[in-house]
Structure 1
């Protein structure tokens, strides 16, 4: 999968607003960590004083003042370091929470068809591992950059104060560390991009294989699935090994540069002592400053490498955030809110539609006027556009041309939530959650009373079997409702739909996958569900089409209509859209 290429600064600017809401904590954290670095530098300077004024002349009386100062600096530095580290971690965790919420909220507005191209496992990988990697660039990196740079400056100034000649020798290694970091960062970015993509593919493959384990075992395809998982796992391993090779080389390269610099400093320092330009204590202090300065320079280089690496994860998240959502603009003045109660009159006016990226028109020139309360069967061959009608009515997609009216109001000018509040979808897959039976029924209307919930279950012919469960309505349904039979899951889904009391229904193959007994059992609940509502029944089941007021047959994107007992315009006309 190709991602839009962005630079680390551009990636940082994209996600920085989520950190900036806690900018005060970021600033205080950076200040505290710089105070800790300053305390370290002061303590190192005291080492030189103790060497020259206490150890060399063996003057114990001169020990107590520097020792007390050193202890004070150590306590101050420890407190500042602990507080600064906690604030930095607090900021990072809040960033992770905010970014994950933002990405998930965006995904909830993306049409389901558009999500399919990512794969569930890949999306989970982006919402977990990729977000944590982005955090290292946007939330952690600024504090690390400020504190490392400030520490480098503090220790460099102290080193120059001690011996400017040795300091120049030390800092001559800085350009080498910088260029090495830039070069390794470019390579690491490419390696990380490959690793994150492979991780997403493997997660999707594992999720798919585990979800279909019944079929895998029944068909004896375990070896084939193991082979697919192994091949993708090997690709992930290779991408990871490439990262490891780069990291393994970068670290020792920096250490080699540091070793050469230290040897040069020791040699030059020995010469300065022999010429009486520097004391032994001064050389010890400088060596200590050097021991702190080189790690800071190394940290700055690692930040560059990490930023380049994290940019690959940023690209994957930006790709998700750029995936188109259903427009939910403010209602247009010429489209007033739906008048309550909503009757459920549905009109398609010359509606055409093509899926994004497809040049083929799924629907074109569809004209329908469905009066409230009619049961409309939608039939046709696979791929004819039956489900597309429902998706357009739910505003999962917008028509390419024409418009759709609900009670005479153009739904494109109404908030998405308002449109969907008046439409109930009963999908082909019952789609139960890993919760109790009660929670699954109440998902249709969380504020419903106990009496309303039980009434819906009774109407759906579910109350009887639910009452026999060990904990009744508090019995766990299991993941995807696996604790229930197929017919039981369908009846729970029917109860959930009945509880919504929405005036428009979309039923997608409600009897698919059920045996004759289960189908016969839900026929009465289906009739109760559709009574008094405008219902679009997508089906191939002739037993259902025979009960319909209207039958729409889709073929090649066009609609033909038959009315077993009614005309397409039976009943009151939809109200015209207000000017």
Structure 2
């Protein structure tokens, strides 16, 4: 049974998580800033420098407007352009300096923002890898990918670059407002009278956008999940001719995503003309009042033109604040989805003072082990007592639902027992760190897992000190080198995602080579021959026997082809140990085991006997690496060998 878990079973066309938009509560902007602010702290210096530069640019823009007013008045008063060159030079200088400040501040802001995105994504991904089957069974991989990409970007737009932009926009608006009152307070009052209307338009748009943003982020995650699942199962989709079904699934979630995005887009589309209309009314009111002041001698033409220029600088930051408010709404929805990951607690954690050293011998003891899944699903175990010594191969078998997969998860500490204890070299697994346990136990999963890398990289995965020589030795021991050398670039051939170009037996042999290279004292073989035909399964049995030599080996399988070679066989039934013995003993005495054997070998009248793997005399010395016989004659690395 595979250790990895998929999502809960759902009807065709449904997705896990469809029953609720999100289990997370609404977060306020203050809570978001407090939660994600620590990711910004390392770049506070850059952000403050960007803020200072952008504020200086706003100051230069204020000076530009003031000099523009003087420029117009001097030209009108003198009737010639000769008297305006000094003011024009000042105007050009302020414009140039302001542009330089804007460019420098923007560059610092971009660098800081991308560093925040990197830290947030890295921290979220690291925590996601620590979460166990309980969390991952409730969330599809496509939705998690969406959270790690677009949701991270949205949160950054609020807590770092968005925050700086907001402060700059507020500062700029205040700066121009104060300057407007200094230049002509009567006209400034006209502009100020329109501010409540702008605030009201922004408030209404924000309220309507909030719900749409949450639906849009959730629907985006569901679209990603459908695409990821369909592509992962593309051979099945094509073989069954269900392309239309998958397209319908995508269309259903895509329709929700489209509707939410259309709703947000319409709000934004309406908001911009409304604010533009209010700004237009403001300019018209200023021109009317300004004309009246000019006719009464209280205002010059240059003063009116300069004040109109003020409006051209004042309204953009006000509009920007309104648009940022809509951006904040989307960022809050994304922050809730990231907080759900970061707040999730792993199924297992390290105890204080846990031993970080891996086991040396690998003696395994299960004492009254019991476990029930938190959600009540899955086959638990109860009262399991078992001891496996170094060099011993024990086959754990039973019907589906007997608890075999649960036992595998407990041995690797994906879960901890609810009752009893599992001891490794006399130390409770819970008293060892997770890293120490997983350095001590090597898993060979039911489905060989390969990465989009070279053959050598896949064999060396999980072994930091792997050398080309050891990689080649492990491949030869796993009977993999023959087909590896036939690949276009030998050990340097890229396998593609999940080794799609290899056969099942070839993928399994590479996985065996990876396990051989690790050399951990405890080995867990999880259904290693499932899905392989007779000849292919027979081809991997030899490498599996070699892999088991000298190690504490648990073979978790319903396939009994290796039963005659096991030192002992443990039969699980309903989560309990139903029988223990050798193949011959259980065939004669155990009804449960006899039925399992007969179901797989209906034409055999009796069980064939075979010598068990040697538990002591010919086994590799416990604690040593059984990967390679280092006394064998060294051979030159063949062409295409691992580098």
Pairwise TM-score range, normalised by the shorter structure = over 0.9
Match of 1:3 among 23, 26, 29: 23
Work out the CA distance in 2 between the residues paired with 1:361 and 1:134.
Answer: 40
Aligned mates of 1:3, 1:192 — CA distance in 2: 16
Q: Answer yes or no: is the 8 Å Cα contact 1:3–1:315 preserved in 2.
A: no
Instruction: Tell me how many residue pairs correspond in the alignment.
Output: 567
Q: Render the CA deviation track for 1:508-540: whole Å, top value 9, x for unaligned.
A: 110011111101101110100011111111111
| Deviation of 1:327 (Å) | 4.0
Give the whole-Å Cα distance in 2 for the aligned partners of 1:14 and 1:383: 42
Match of 1:107 in 2: 128
**Tell me, what secondary structure is at the counterpart of 2:78?**
coil
Contact 1:352 1:361 in 2 (8 A): no
Could you tell me which of 370, 378, 396 is aligned with 2:414? 396
Cα pair 1:11 1:311 within 8 Å, conserved: yes
Q: Within 5 Å, which residues of 2 pair with 1:195-210?
A: 195-210=216-231
Superposition deviation, residue 451 in structure 1: 1.8
Answering whether residue 195 of structure 2 is matched by residue 174 of structure 1, we say yes
Q: How does 1:9-20 map to 2 (within 5 A)?
A: 9-20=30-41
Equivalent of residue 93 in structure 1, options 106, 114, 129: 114
1:542 corresponding residue in structure 2: 560
SS at match of 1:25: helix
How far apart in 1 are the matches of 2:345 and 2:584?
40
The 1:249–1:401 alpha-carbon spacing in structure 2 relative to 1, beyond 3 Å, is farther
Q: 1:81 aligned to 2:99?
A: no
CA contact (8 A) 1:349 1:404 kept: yes
For the residues of structure 1 that align with 2:509 and 2:299, how far apart are their CA atoms? 89
Which residue among 538, 549, 553 is the counterpart of 1:531? 549
Partner SS state of residue 56, structure 1: helix
Report which stretch shifted further, 426-435 or 4-13: 4-13
1:356 aligns with 2:371: no
TM-fit CA distance, 1:113: 4.9
* Cα-to-partner distance string for 1:160-180 (whole Å, 9 max, x where unaligned): 011112112212222222233
* 1:329 Cα deviation after fit: 3.3
Distance in 1 between residues matched to 2:159 and 2:584, nearest whole Å: 63
**Alignment match, 2:638:** none
How far 1:363 moved relative to its partner? Answer: 2.1
Displacement of 1:309 in angstroms is 1.7
When residues 447 and 566 of structure 1 are mapped into structure 2, their CA distance, relative to the original with a 3 A threshold, is farther
Distance 1:44 1:336 in 2: 69
Q: Deviations over 1:326-379 (max 9, x none)?
A: 4443542xx6554x7611112223322222333787123333332222212122
Match of 1:321 in 2: 342
Q: Which runs of 5+ in 2 are unaligned?
A: 1-19, 586-614, 617-643
* CA-CA distance at 1:547 after TM superposition: 2.1
Q: Distance in 2 between matches of 1:100 and 1:211?
A: 24
CA 1:558–1:330 in structure 2 vs 1: closer, same or farther (change >3 Å)? closer
* C-alpha distance in 2 between matches for 1:445 and 1:559: 35
Cα offsets for 1:46-82 (capped at 9, x unmatched): 1110111223322434212211211221121111000
Any idea what SS the aligned residue of 2:463 has? coil
Q: 1:185, 1:307 within 8 Å by CA — same for their partners in 2?
A: no
The equivalences for 1:464-475 within 5 A come to 464-475=482-493
Of 76, 91, 97, the residue aligned with 1:70 is: 91
Distance in 2, Cα, partners of 1:501 & 1:10: 48
Instruction: State the shift of 1:381 in Å.
Output: 2.5
5+ residue gaps, structure 1: 572-579
Does residue 1:124 correspond to 2:158, yes or no?
no
Q: CA deviation at 1:270?
A: 1.5
- Can you list the C-alpha shifts for 1:437-488, whole angstroms capped at 9, x where unaligned? 1111011413212221111111111111112222111112222101211111
Quickly say closer, same or farther: Cα 1:526–1:361, change in 2 above 3 A.
Answer: closer
Q: Does 2:303 correspond to 1:295? A: no
Residue 348 of structure 2 contacts residue 414 of structure 2 at CA under 8 Å; is this kept in 1? no
1:575 aligns to what?
none
Q: Closer, same or farther in 2 for the Cα pair 1:137/1:337, shift >3 Å?
A: closer
**Is the contact between residue 359 and residue 424 of structure 2 (CA under 8 Å) also seen in structure 1?**
no
Instruction: Give distance in 2, aligned partners of 1:262 and 1:366.
Output: 82
Whether 1:159 and 2:177 are equivalent positions in the alignment is no
8 Å CA contact 1:539–1:545 kept in 2: the answer is: no
- Asked if the contact 1:331/1:414 (under 8 Å) is kept, the reply is no
Structure 1's 401 and 257: CA in aligned 2 closer, same or farther, altered over 3 A? farther
Give the Cα–Cα distance (whole angstroms) in 2 for the partners of residues 326 and 502 of structure 1: 24
